[in-house]
């Protein structure tokens, strides 16, 4: 797989609690230079980053992150606010407790409400695979498919585990044809990136692939 193709599917990510504008700006510069799909950044930087990149790069942010247990109303406000500030893509975290309580209708309703709050922009649904059983992951594939969301995503990277090849393959076997797959968390190098793409992911959330390309250039 060509490097350009891999980079074009990367959401170049910086979500550390202590991230500074200088670091976010450098992330945007790299995202533009290397042709990434987007930069995924904290919501507080979205407006500044959108103004900085001037349409050269999609801005992605996260809501209900990383725990997912905010109220639906709060998540909807976060999504709407992010889009108003210039986000083209929103990555939301589901309510994991609702999965454990089998509140399938509530989960579906919440994702639908957040999708509406995104005003036509892309919505990716993080289900935090490391906290779910395979049965729960399959059920969430069905719910995300029914919700109208654009992507199902493996992980926040903050939950104790990241993307696995098994989870991406499971997604590929259980989501509807209109739902795309994002693998995120622990994608360490170009080999990992290529493996996840070959298994069916069409986006990668990673801070390391651009670093790996820079190391090759050096």
- Tell me, yes or no, if 139 is annotated catalytic: no
Q: What confidence score (pLDDT) does residue 158 get? A: 96
Q: What confidence score (pLDDT) does residue 82 get? A: 98
Q: What confidence score (pLDDT) does residue 52 get? A: 98
Of 78, 89, 143, the residue nearest 117 (C-alpha): 78
Q: What confidence score (pLDDT) does residue 130 get? A: 98
CA atoms within 13 A on the CB side of 91: 33
- Tell me, yes or no, if 84 is annotated catalytic: no
Q: What confidence score (pLDDT) does residue 78 get? A: 98
Q: Read out DSSP for 83-111?
A: HHTT-SEEEEE--HHHHHTT-HHHHHHHH
Q: What confidence score (pLDDT) does residue 121 get? A: 98
- Of 75, 115, 180, 182, the catalytic one is 182
Share of the chain above pLDDT 90, in %: 100
pLDDT values of the chain reduced to their tens digit, one per residue, 218 residues:
999 999 999 999 999 999 999 999 999 999 999 999 999 999 999 999 999 999 999 999 999 999 999 999 999 999 999 999 999 999 999 999 999 999 999 999 999 999 999 999 999 999 999 999 999 999 999 999 999 999 999 999 999 999 999 999 999 999 999 999 999 999 999 999 999 999 999 999 999 999 999 999 99
pTM for this model (two decimals): 0.97
- Of 9, 11, 30, 91, the catalytic one is 91
Q: How does the average pLDDT of the chain come out, rounded?
A: 97
- Of 9, 137, 139, 153, the catalytic one is 153
Q: What confidence score (pLDDT) does residue 25 get? A: 98
* Terminal Cα-to-Cα distance of the chain (whole angstroms): 21
- Give the chain's domains with CATH numbers: 3-217 (3.20.20.70)
- Tell me, yes or no, if 91 is annotated catalytic: yes
């Amino acid at each position: 797989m060509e490097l350009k193709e891999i980079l074009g599917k990367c959401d170049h990510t910086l979500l550390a609690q202590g991230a500074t504008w200088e670091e976010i700006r450098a992330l945007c510069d790299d995202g533009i230079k290397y042709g990434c799909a987007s930069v995924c950044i904290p919501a507080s930087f979205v407006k500044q980053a959108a103004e900085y990149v001037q349409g050269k790069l999609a801005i992605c942010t996260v809501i209900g992150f990383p725990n997912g247990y905010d109220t639906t109303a709060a998540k909807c406000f976060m999504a709407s606010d992010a889009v108003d500030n210039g986000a083209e893509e929103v990555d939301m975290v589901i309510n994991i407790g609702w999965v454990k309580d089998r509140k399938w209708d509530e989960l579906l309703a919440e994702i639908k409400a957040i999708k509406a709050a995104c005003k036509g922009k892309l919505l990716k649904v993080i289900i935090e695979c490391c906290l779910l059983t395979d049965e729960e992951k399959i059920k969430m594939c069905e719910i995300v498919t029914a919700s109208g969301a654009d992507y199902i995503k493996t992980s926040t990277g903050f939950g104790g585990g990241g993307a696995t090849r098994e989870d991406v393959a499971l997604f590929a076997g259980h989501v509807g044809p209109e739902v795309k797959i994002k693998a995120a968390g622990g994608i360490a190098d170009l080999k990992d990136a290529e493996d996840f793409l070959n298994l069916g992911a069409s986006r990668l959330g990673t801070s390391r692939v651009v670093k790996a390309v820079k190391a090759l250039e050096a």
